[in-house]
Amino acid sequence: MAAKPKLWYFCGRGRMESIRWLLAAAGVEFEEEFLETREQYEKLQKDGRLLFGQVPLVEIDGMELTQTRAILSYLATKYNLHGKDLKETVRINMYAEGTLDLMMMVAVAAFKPPEEKEESLALVVKKAKTQHFPVFEKILKDHGEDFLVGNKFSWADIQLLEAILMVEELDASVLSDFPLLKEFKTRISNIPTIKKFLQPGSQRKPPPDSHYVEIVRNVLQL
Amino acid sequence: MEAIRWLLAAAGVEFEEKLLESSEDLDKLRHVFQQVPMVEIDGMKLVQTRAILNYIATKYYLYGKDMKERALTDMYTEGVADLGEMILLLPRCPPDQKNAKLTLIRERTTNHYLPACEKVLKSHGQDYLVGNKLSKADIHLVELLYYVEELDPSLLANFPLLKGLKTRVSNLPAVKKFLQPGSQRKPLGTEKTLEQARKIFKF
């Protein structure tokens, strides 16, 4: 039996959360090792397990993968969530990159001083409402299908749901002008693997708080 | 966009360019995410640099032979992109922070990124980073090495295998052509080009 993928990261969302979502949505059980001390991090580096000295790190299929996008792309393909041909794959990648950009802004904002943080998060909501969500609403409207690409559940759908929920945490009314996205949110949330992931006690992580920021700063010596 | 130009050039693919010169030019682009880079290819309008690069790489067999090789290619590419971005954003740095930024770039280059890539080449002793065959990882890395060299040639001093890769890739006919004056290769951004970009993108 194949070993479960093992995730090395802080106990929080950051750059690992999209990876957790993808694995969970694919119904793949995974283990996690949480970085809490500088010593743990230095050991990973000394053991040569972090190619460019960074986490996330995912051990899977005999590889030690780092770099968020490399990991996401590998998992999406492995679990058949990456389209049926190159043209579908590129669309999935385009949509996923868009939502990833948005979510990274949220992750990075946690580390800014309070005033800048507020500004950054307000900008995220603005971008979501004016740039990202209108595009996805239109995509769903144009083809009238249940999923973003190829009438089949893919990585793009998982990322979009993750992004919607994240932005709703900042502004609960953000979907008010996007009826199709509201339906999309309900539909994707009800997929059994995702429904399970959305329940308390799953491996989904909460939004970053000051405790999380402190740990990351200590471990990475920022 | 430059990484995309390098990749197309290295694959021997001829391409046309529409260079944005005003904000009106930008407004005229009516497509998915209203952004650039944008590449029209095979009847599609693609945005998002990585999506574009990965499409081109797959189409022209510059992405490894299987999923695992693709993952390695992606890993190396992403690391290179991180450092590349730091260098590319240098002109945007306010003058009083520039020295600190340069020091950081030098440190990252010498202590993280270049040693990691040198180590990969040393570990298998092959001519290219992945699968003993030219891939996008090599092309992106060599592009980066040119920028590093432009910043400070001494930064490449302790990396003989990287120097070897740079020479080898630069001598590939399609790349050699791209490196010659008069090709579609663009120079690194300066304060002047930044000003122009500010006007077009209104930031």
CB contact under 8 A, B50 and A131: no
The pLDDT, as a whole number, for residue B195 is 79
Assess if CATH 3.40.50.300 describes domain B67-172. no
- The whole-angstrom separation of Cα A164 and Cα A185 is 8
pLDDT at B31: 55
A173 within a domain of the structure (yes/no):
yes
**If pLDDT is split at 50, 70 and 90, which confidence band does B194 have?**
confident
pLDDT digits (tens, 9 = 90+) for A56-114: 999 999 999 999 999 999 999 999 999 999 999 999 999 999 999 999 999 999 999 99
- Evaluate whether ipTM surpasses 0.90: yes
| Distance between CA atoms of residues B161 and B119, nearest Å | 9
Q: What is the pLDDT of residues A18-27, one digit of tens each?
A: 999 999 999 9
**Residue A131 belongs to a domain:** yes
Query: Chain A contacts of B58, Cβ < 8 Å?
Result: 86, 89
Number of domains in chain A: 1
Collect contacts of B102-109 with beta carbons under 8 A, ≥24 apart.
B102/B151, B105/B151, B106/B152, B106/B155, B108/B83, B109/B83, B109/B148, B109/B155
The predicted structure's pLDDT at residue B55: 98
Q: What is the pLDDT of residues A140-165, one digit of tens each?
A: 999 999 999 999 999 999 999 999 99
Domain-embedded: residue A5 = no
Nearest to B62 by CA among B6, B8, B141, B135: B135
Candidates A74, A89, A94; nearest CB to B71: A74
Domain boundaries, given as residue ranges, for chain B = 1-60+179-201, 67-172
Position A52 in a domain = no
Q: Where do the H-state alpha helices sit in A144-209? A: 155-170, 179-189, 192-197
Q: Is there a contact between B112 and A87 if contact means CB atoms under 8 Å apart? A: no
pLDDT digits (tens, 9 = 90+) for B39-74: 999 999 999 999 999 999 999 999 999 999 999 999
HSE-up of residue A143 (Cα within 13 Å, Cβ side): 12
CATH number of B1-60+179-201: 3.40.30.10
| CB contact set of B31 (below 8 Å; sequence gap of 6+) | B38, B45, B47
| Within-domain flag for A94 | yes
The residue of chain A nearest to residue B52, with distances taken between CA atoms, is: A90
For residue B47, the cross-strand partners are B38
CB atoms within 10 A of CB A134: 15
Q: Rounded distance, CA B202 to CA B20, Å?
A: 13
In a domain, A22, yes or no: no
Write down the pTM of the prediction. Answer: 0.94
| Weakest-pLDDT range from B114-123, B135-144, B184-193 | B184-193
Is a pLDDT exceeding 70 seen at residue B186? yes
- In B, minimum Cα distance to A50 occurs at B116
What average pLDDT does the structure give for chain A?
Answer: 97
Say which CATH number the domain at A96 has. Answer: 1.20.1050.10
Contact A70 B50 (CB under 8 A): no
Collapse the DSSP code of A1 into the 3-class scheme (helix H, G, I; strand E, B; otherwise coil) and give the result: coil
Residue A128 has what DSSP assignment?
A: I
Parent domain of A161: 86-197
A106 to A97, A125, A153: CA distances (angstroms): 15, 10, 25
Q: In whole angstroms, how large is the CA radius of gyration of chain B?
A: 17
